Amino acid sequence: MPQRILLMSSAPNAATQRAALALGGHGHQVRTAVVADAADMARAVAANDFDLIICPYLTTAIPADIYQHHRTVIIHPGPVGDRGPASLDWALTEGHTRWGVTAIGAVAEMDAGPIWAWRTVAVQYPQTKSTLYNTVIADAAIECILETAAHAEDPGFTPTDQADAPRPVPGARTRPPMRYQDRQVPWTAPGATILARIHTADGSPGLRAELAGHTFHLYDAHPGRNQVSAEPGTIIGRRHHGIEIACGAKETIWVGHLRARTRNSTTCKGPATSVLAHLGVDLDHVPVAEGFDDDIVYHRDGDIATLTVTAYNGALTTGQCHRLADALHTADQQDTDVLVLRGGTGHFFLTGIHLGAIELAPDPAAEGWDNIRAINRVCYALLNCRQITIAAITGNAGAGGVALPLSADVVAARRRATLSPAYQPMGLTGSELHTLTLPHRVGPATARELLETAQALDTTTGHEIGLLDHIGPDDNTEFDRWLDELAHRYATGSLHEQTLHRKAARLASLAKPPSAYEAAELAAMAEDFFADRHHFHSRRQRFLRVGPGTHTPRRPHVLAGH
């Protein structure tokens, strides 16, 4: 018998969205409550309209009067026997190659309750905490959540006492919170050491470090050069929005995003050069260096070309949009038959314009305007490409990140991806030619519903309504092989000819040119940016302060989730 399930979460993040979609897909009735404290939890359970409480992302301890009267299960991002609020931080710091997820009944002692379900996963390196959580850990969590719901339907099921449960990961134990001192590493350390420390804190809280006379949290780090003679901890290069920092062993690293700590406040997380400019740090004397170009990579294999874009947390800066549009134009000039636009191996595909860069700009409205017009260049380049275009959504996508791939001829997605098409939660009406491409795929009524209800979709639903053409596997190697096979199918034979015919017919049937759709969208967006009619600026600031879906928790009873 399907269960009535209350999902209790500290934020409306990707983990909770995915759990709700998975449970609903299995016939359960799901209600989600976002709670900040015990009072919120009391209000959430007052209606008593549920059979089971599952907490996929919770940073606040559950009061005894809730778990003593209601079946309450915590999803913990650690294997059986692991306890503590910094599970993934310690797992990566200690270099574990196997980890896990456990569904634990809530009791007074943290993470000590009986076990409803558990899974183990392989951990590959290099690895960032946010990507680990949002991929294999999230996959295992969904399996545990579905198994927990199935057990709740069985009146004969009894969860297993931890003392009697298997311990599949050696060394699982109680660990304390991870403190600043536990992460600390000097700039004189080798670049690989510093990179690994940044990776363990990526998402939240970031690696705290002193740089250019200020205190920052570092994110989005990549290997740099060797044999560089410079004082460790100094900025010696810049390129696009990234900065190159000297380390020990004559090495460097690149850092793409920062969050600044000042005496009275902190900035939002944003592009490194934007954060530094916001603090008045002059980078004009820093030379432009090679080495921060791997966010947009072109590869050709015979008749198939692939353009891979990797945007941190899925957000595209104005500069990235222009570079991606230029790359698409260049790719269109080649003699290939199929062009694949795909994301990287991270947990996000695209989420549209870069809210952090907009917030940090001297004139946020003007920066938002520039950013949306730049991302529209990408959509035009995809829409007008002479080749067959395949957009491959490799991770979660939101707002403009859902609309942008719809300009392609074929849209595919990794199975685990969650799609959130609506712009409205951020106080925007949106652009990216969505008024042309979204109704074309799903029909005007469904397009309106997707934009107005602000509901997330799983890929199965996306395929059923016509938003997606194909769904691929989750494993990176399997997905890459599947996508390559898909591209080759569209490169030859009748499917190639049929797709080219549909492409030409699609553009020929338009009642008005794409520029007319864009003009109407931009007229509305001008009101959003400059008149702030839907409170974009306050909503953006609130979102950036609370943190997006990649924020990972540091307190008890959690599965952490931009």
Q: Is 337 helix (H, G, I), strand (E, B) or coil?
A: coil
The predicted pLDDT at position 380 comes to 98
Query: For the segment 298-316, what is each residue's pLDDT rounded down to a tens digit?
Result: 999 999 999 999 999 999 9
Question: d(Cα 516, Cα 435) in Å, to the nearest integer?
Answer: 10
- State the pLDDT at residue 553: 32
Q: Do 340 and 390 form a contact (C-beta atoms < 8 A)?
A: yes
* Percent over 90 (pLDDT), the chain: 89
Using pLDDT thresholds of 50, 70 and 90, give the confidence band for residue 93.
very high
Mean of the pLDDT values across residues 73-92? 96
**Lowest-confidence range among 31-45, 359-373, 525-539, 545-559?**
545-559
What does the pLDDT average to over 155-173?
Answer: 94
User: What pLDDT shows up at residue 15?
Assistant: 84
Distance CA 292, CA 401 (A): 22
Q: Read out DSSP for 106-139? A: --SSTT-S-EEEEEEEE--SS--HHHHIIIIIHH
Who's near 190: CB < 8 A, 6+ residues apart?
247, 248, 249, 251
Q: In this predicted structure, what is the pLDDT of residue 265?
A: 78
Q: Cα–Cα distances in Å, from 504 out to 58, 65, 274, 498, 508? A: 50, 64, 42, 10, 6
Number of H helices, E strands in the chain: 20, 23
Give the pLDDT confidence score for residue 552 in this predicted structure: 34
Chain segment 366-403, per-residue pLDDT in tens: 999 999 999 999 999 999 999 999 999 999 999 999 99
pLDDT digits (tens, 9 = 90+) for 462-473: 999 999 999 999
**For position 408, what pLDDT does the model report?**
98
Report percent pLDDT > 70 for the chain. 97
Q: Which residue type is seen at 160?
A: T
pLDDT at residue 511, rounded to an integer: 87
pLDDT at position 545, please?
A: 82
Q: Over 80: is that where the pLDDT of 560 sits?
A: no
Residue 549: band (very low, low, confident or very high) from pLDDT cuts 50, 70, 90 = very low
- H or E element that contains 483: helix 476-491
CA distance 379 to 345: 22
Q: Which pLDDT score, from 0 to 100, does residue 59 have?
A: 85
Domains of the chain: 4-164 (3.40.50.170), 182-278 (3.10.25.10), 296-476+501-531 (3.90.226.10)
From the list 426, 427, 422, the residue with the least C-alpha distance to 438 is: 422
* Residue 72's pLDDT band (cuts 50, 70, 90): very high
Give how far Cα 133 sits from Cα of 245, 255, 368, Å.
27, 21, 30
Task: Identify the band that residue 60 occupies on the pLDDT scale cut at 50, 70 and 90.
Answer: confident
Q: What is the pTM of this model?
A: 0.93
Per-residue pLDDT at 1? 79
Q: Which two tokens stand for residue 526?
A: 């001008």
Are the C-beta atoms of residues 419 and 402 closer than 8 Å to each other?
yes
User: Which of helix, strand or coil describes residue 532?
Assistant: coil
3 state DSSP class of 78: coil
Return d(Cα 374, Cα 368) in angstroms, integer: 10
Residue 68, pLDDT score: 95
Residue 362, judged by CB atoms within 10 A of its CB (0-12, 13-18, 19+), counts as exposed
Average per-residue pLDDT in the chain?
A: 94
Q: Report, as an integer, the average pLDDT of 13-28.
A: 92
Are the CB atoms for 346 and 131 separated by under 8 Å? yes
> Regarding predicted confidence, which is higher, 556 or 13?
13
Name the nearest CA neighbour of 405 among 330, 414, 452: 414
- Confirm if 144 and 101 have CB atoms less than 8 A apart: yes
> Tell me, what's the pLDDT at 431?
98
Cα distance between residue 231 and residue 519, in whole Å: 51
**Window from 10-14, 16-20, 465-469 with minimum mean pLDDT:** 10-14
* pLDDT at 45 (0 to 100): 96
Span 18-36, mean pLDDT? 95
pLDDT at 555 over 50: no
Which residues, at least 6 apart from 347, have a Cβ–Cβ distance to it below 8 Å? 14, 130, 131, 133, 134, 135, 138, 395, 396, 550
More confident of the two residues 455 and 115: 115
